[in-house]
């Protein structure tokens, strides 16, 4: 009883303490976040972490060209034929990417958060009978995204140093360069990303704390979804 009362009356953690706690002690940190859910500060930080590398690489001519090449590759990956006119348009827009990268992340992150939190709220509350408030779900998801922000910074530093862009430099594909490019095996290897796996684990801990469920059970469900998405996307891109 005394421990429960102490937990309820414990002061809310500041933003810095929450960010560090997500890395060093996620369960205890999520327990504090659930008691006092806060979203805006950590969401702004994650948007900054995601936008800074994209903006930084566009500070140099080499970086802007790398970004242009990456955009072209992504469009072709989805089966789009890039014409000369389309290429010139990409080059023209890239001149402003040092600014638009931040704008994009600060607009996109809240949308992503609402979408993901909404899915979890429907699954755990409406379907599985949970009682968490939507703000608590958003707080858990937003704080788990700190891991994605760290991954974005890490990838951005590597991309900036070598003057080329990839979506991730911490995946199994980088250790298996002998796999045929664009093959199903290569795409699967590329989908096994260290920071994505770390994010899913941290998110599982947070949802487990929020809904009083075992982390292993939540993680099994999330990793199953992760695997299905990875397999489907890898198959799609291998056929492109």
2: tokens are 């005394």
Its pTM stands at 0.86
Q: 1-17 b/e with 16+ CB inside 10 Å = b?
A: eeeeeeeeeeeebeeee
Domains: count for the chain: 1
76 falls within a domain: yes
158: tokens are 């590597």
184 falls within a domain: yes
5 falls within a domain: no
160 touches 57 (CB < 8 A): yes
Q: What is the pLDDT along the chain (240 residues), one digit of tens a residue?
A: 444 444 555 678 999 999 999 999 999 999 999 999 999 999 999 999 999 988 888 888 888 888 888 888 878 877 788 888 898 898 888 888 888 888 899 999 999 999 999 999 999 999 999 999 999 999 999 999 999 999 999 988 888 877 777 777 777 777 666 777 777 777 777 778 889 999 999 999 999 999 999 999 999 999 999 989 888 877 777 665
The H or E element that residue 78 is part of is none
> Helix axis angle, 215-238 relative to 194-211, nearest 10°?
140
144 falls within a domain: yes
Query: Closest by alpha carbon to 120, among 106, 135, 108?
Result: 135
73 falls within a domain: yes
56 falls within a domain: yes
**Range of the structural domain that residue 128 is part of:** 29-238
Radius of gyration of the chain (CA): 20
93 falls within a domain: yes
Distance CA(222)–CA(111), nearest Å, equals: 20
CA-to-CA separations, 53 to 113, 148, 158, 164, in angstroms, rounded: 20, 13, 10, 12
202 falls within a domain: yes
30 touches 210 (CB < 8 A): yes
């Amino acid at each position: 009883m005394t421990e429960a009362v102490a937990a309820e009356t414990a002061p809310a953690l500041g933003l810095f303490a929450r960010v560090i706690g997500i890395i060093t002690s996620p369960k205890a940190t999520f327990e504090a976040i659930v008691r006092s859910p806060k979203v805006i500060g950590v969401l702004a930080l994650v948007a900054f972490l995601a936008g800074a590398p994209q903006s930084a690489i566009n500070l140099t001519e080499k970086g802007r060209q790398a970004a242009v090449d990456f955009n072209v590759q992504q469009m072709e990956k989805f089966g789009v034929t890039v014409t000369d006119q389309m290429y010139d348009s990409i080059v023209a827009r890239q001149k402003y990417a040092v600014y638009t990268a931040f704008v994009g992340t600060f607009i996109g992150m809240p949308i992503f958060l609402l979408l993901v939190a909404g899915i979890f709220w429907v699954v755990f509350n409406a379907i599985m009978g949970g009682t968490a408030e939507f703000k608590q779900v958003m707080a858990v998801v937003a704080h788990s995204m700190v891991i994605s922000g760290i991954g974005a910074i890490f990838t951005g530093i590597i991309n900036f140093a070598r003057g080329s862009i990839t979506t991730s430099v911490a995946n199994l594909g980088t250790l298996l360069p002998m796999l045929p490019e664009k093959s199903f095996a290569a795409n699967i290897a590329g989908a096994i990303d260290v920071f994505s796996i770390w994010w899913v684990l941290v998110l599982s801990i947070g949802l487990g704390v929020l809904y009083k469920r075992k982390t292993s059970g939540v993680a099994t469900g999330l990793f199953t979804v992760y695997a299905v998405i990875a397999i489907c996307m890898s198959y799609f891109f291998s056929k492109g």
